[in-house]
Structure 1
């Protein structure tokens, strides 16, 4: 009861619904709150353990990935996820890609994610090097687990995660 009272006072006020986001591709629900996350976790754990019900009004926003967009991404770009051990290597590799592979290479940094992960996008039709040489590097880097193909990750992300952490 104390945990419920705490979360209703701190994070999930009774006078408004709980806002929940469901990420379909991860089969995960996310609820943002302040001042009570460990209490909310205890309420969930105690409810499951003791078979208790705690009912509240909630708004659920369901998010999913458009499969056609993944196909388009795959047809237009070599895209992959790369984890850097050291922050200093990130820009160096990006500049090398721009200089040697494609001046149109783009790199994105995931928000709110641990580690030094980056998403690389290399346009297939604007390579500076032989496309077969790059494809050979790409396939071997995937096979040797140096990179994760972004389209493959988007199709089935759970195979790349253990305990909610992206495999390194």
Structure 2
């Protein structure tokens, strides 16, 4: 009879431990949701969605990637360094083979306005593969205007991508 009681007590201890762990997780999620500022959430979600540039390559998903040649990446990085206090836009030209985008040229279109969190410029033509613009540091999520402009670009070129550069080596790519 003692063995039966010991056997019955073990599941109740296990249940208590699991209940405590589940409670801690739920409370943590609720605290995160209600106490963390929208800006902090934006940074976190952008970090989760974005990709880090490694060896001139951005891995977008399991089969899709962007590979920059030396010259195009150098031009992009120079523009980034020169515009740390304001957004800028570029159009990336290259070729697409299967799901690999080979970027050979970085062109800056005519720009009408550059501010800390906004850039207004001519759109990329259908000859370009990627419409890229920067966002303030670590803010990788697109705005509604970014999405609308990308939809217009995608109508011109079905292979088009939207890229948001939010650090020198971090990008958020939309297909």
Normalising by the smaller structure, the TM-score range is under 0.3
TM-score (norm 1): 0.22
TM-score (norm 2): 0.21
Query: Hey, which of these two has a bigger chunk of helix by percent?
Result: 1
Higher radius of gyration, 1 or 2: 2
